[in-house]
């Protein structure tokens, strides 16, 4: 059941990314395109992390960053969003 939840969030993130970047690319400035990545990228990271955790648990492995696939995916997503915020707010504007 968790596999389908994580797969759904992954597909939702991909669909949102394709919608924004393929259908409405010309409607946004470069800065706005960077800002909308805060919407779809965490969904993709959460879905991928959750699927990886479910697959690891199914193979008998244990998860270091949490006891359940949901906790593992949430921790990974929080870390990735923190890195993303640092990059987009501190490094990207100076490029």
pTM of the model: 0.84
**pLDDT, tens digit (0-9, with 9 covering 90-100), for 26-50:** 888 888 888 889 999 999 999 999 9
Each domain of the chain, given as residue ranges in start order, spans 2-94
Render the burial of 24-45: b for 16+ CB within 10 Å, e for the rest: eeeeeeeeeeeebeeebbbbbb
- Does residue 62 surpass a pLDDT of 70? no
Cβ(60)–Cβ(76) below 8 Å? no
Tokens of 78: 């929080």
């Amino acid at each position: 059941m968790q596999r389908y939840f994580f797969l759904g969030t992954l597909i939702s993130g991909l669909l949102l990314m394709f919608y924004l970047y393929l259908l409405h690319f010309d409607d946004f400035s470069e800065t706005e395109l960077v800002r909308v990545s805060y919407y779809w990228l965490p969904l993709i990271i959460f879905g991928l992390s959750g699927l990886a955790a479910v697959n690891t648990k199914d193979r008998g492995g244990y998860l270091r960053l949490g006891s359940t696939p949901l906790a593992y995916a949430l921790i990974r997503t929080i870390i990735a969003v923190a890195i993303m915020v640092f990059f987009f707010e501190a490094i990207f504007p100076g490029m």
